[in-house]
Amino acid sequence: MYEKKANRPRINNTVGLNQKLAELEVKLPWIERLDLVNKLAPLAPELAFQENQHLKAREKVLKQAKVTAGIERDAVHNDFKRELLFYRQAQAAVLEAIPRLKSMGIKTKRPEDYFAQMAKTDEHMQKIREKIVSKQLTEERMD
Amino acid sequence: KPKNVAKAKVSWTNKQRVLIFGCRGIGFRDRHLMDDLRTLMPHSRTDSKMQRKDTLFVVNEIAEMKNCNKCLLFEGRKGRKDLYLWASNIARGPSAKFLVENVHTMAELKMTGNCLKSSRPLLSFDKNFDAHPHLAVLRELFTQIFSVPNHHPKSQPFFDHVYTFTVVDDKIWFRNYQILTEEDGSLAEIGPRFVLNPIKVFESSFCGQTLWENPKYVTPTAHRSMMKRMKAGKYRDNVQ
């Protein structure tokens, strides 16, 4: 029964979609929206290095586990590569938008003495710092 | 008179308000995700959980009562295992339904970034959003929902984080990064993360004609039963 359903022709009403898009769009200056369409930022050398390190580490693990599928099919390494993709897209957005905002005469950076409520509490950030330190310690012990 | 002009310049004109709320029966992690979005979006409003017996159409009335013109509704199914998200432009539509996968909240310790509670995010979309009409509609909908209006009274005037929307494997992947240095664009992830698997796009808000449906969509229940069958096959081979 499930296969039967999958064969059903799927709706893709492009005319209706385009019409709806035209209806939905609000003409507002970019500063109200802050949206961008980005390609990836060029791969920074330290990111390329990180990727290479991760590749080597995973290859080692796979070898030990006697997995023969190859690194291309390794889910963990592919996850890592995908995250890098998102990171580079965000980077491209920053490198495009910040100069654009500055050219409009808008301050972008928060001054050091400006305090306001943050998304994560200080307690939570303290926990994150502790976790990073403890992770570093265990890594040092391993070496 | 010049005084008035200056005042008009900083006025808050883009009055988007987003109602973020859930139906009964969503899991703890999903509730945290919902709260994360509320923290990040000063232009959001909340309401008490919706009763399951109410039809989805009621949401339009609730949103109108709360003065909201956009809505994000979380819906849990199958004993809190599956999470669905509705994104809608109230009254006139369109609306879209997604299956939410791979949820990670801001509370996780591996996300090391932080940002001001209600600063305005930059929104980054990848090129794929231009390639298909349904993705173009979703892009516009997401922009209007997630972008914090300029000069919103509760917003902060600085730019310290970026949302990315990327289409990979026909799904929309969401990430939120802190901008560490503006010059070289180094970032730290703040969270939350989630993947939206689009199911359908409707003409109106929570109703109306279907404009698009995902040909590759498999319900999570069908997926689970397929996995089960594959596992069962493994043992059947052993016996023979």
Which of A7-11, A89-93, A106-110 has the least mean pLDDT? A7-11
Identify whether A19 is part of a domain: yes
Q: What percent of chain B has pLDDT over 90?
A: 72
Q: What is the pTM of this model?
A: 0.90
Structure tokens at B192: 């939350």
Identify whether A133 is part of a domain: no
Q: Which residues pair with B212 in a beta bridge?
A: A12, B201
Pairing of strands B186-189, B18-22: unpaired
Please count the structural domains in chain A: 1
pLDDT of residue B5: 47
CA separation for the pair B129, B87 (Å, rounded): 17
| Unique residue bearing structure tokens 């959001």 | B44
Structure tokens at A104: 């409009």
Identify whether A116 is part of a domain: no
Which of A 38-97 lie inside 8 A of B, CB atoms? Answer: 38-39, 41, 44, 82, 85-87, 89-95, 97
Q: Give me the sign of the Cα torsion angle A46, A125, B158, A82.
A: positive
Structure tokens at B207: 């109703």
| pLDDT tens, position by position, B147-191 | 999 999 999 999 999 999 999 999 999 999 999 999 888 999 998
The C-alpha of A5 sits at a distance from chain B's nearest C-alpha, in angstroms, of 10
Identify whether A119 is part of a domain: no
For the residues A131-136, what does the mean pLDDT come to?
Answer: 93
All structural domains of chain B: 14-231 (3.40.50.10480)
Residue B185 contacts A, CB cutoff 8 Å: yes
Decide if A35 contacts A96 (C-beta within 8 A): no
Which of A 93-132 lie inside 8 A of B, CB atoms? Answer: 93-95, 97-98, 101, 107-110, 114, 116-120, 124-125, 127-128, 131-132
CA separation for the pair B240, B227 (Å, rounded): 21
What number of residues does chain B have?
Answer: 240
Structure tokens at B68: 């909201």
Question: Do A86 and B182 count as a contact with CB atoms less than 8 A apart?
Answer: no
| pLDDT tens, position by position, A68-95 | 777 888 888 999 999 999 999 999 999 9
| Cα pseudo-dihedral A9, A12, A16, A17, rounded to 10 | 160
The candidate with the shortest Cα–Cα distance to B159, out of A99, A121, A120, A129, is: A99
| pLDDT tens, position by position, B50-75 | 877 778 888 999 999 999 999 999 99
Q: DSSP secondary structure string, A54-82?
A: HHHHHHHHHHHTT--S-GGG-HHHHHHHH
Identify whether A96 is part of a domain: yes
Which structural domain, as residue segments, surrounds residue A68? 2-108
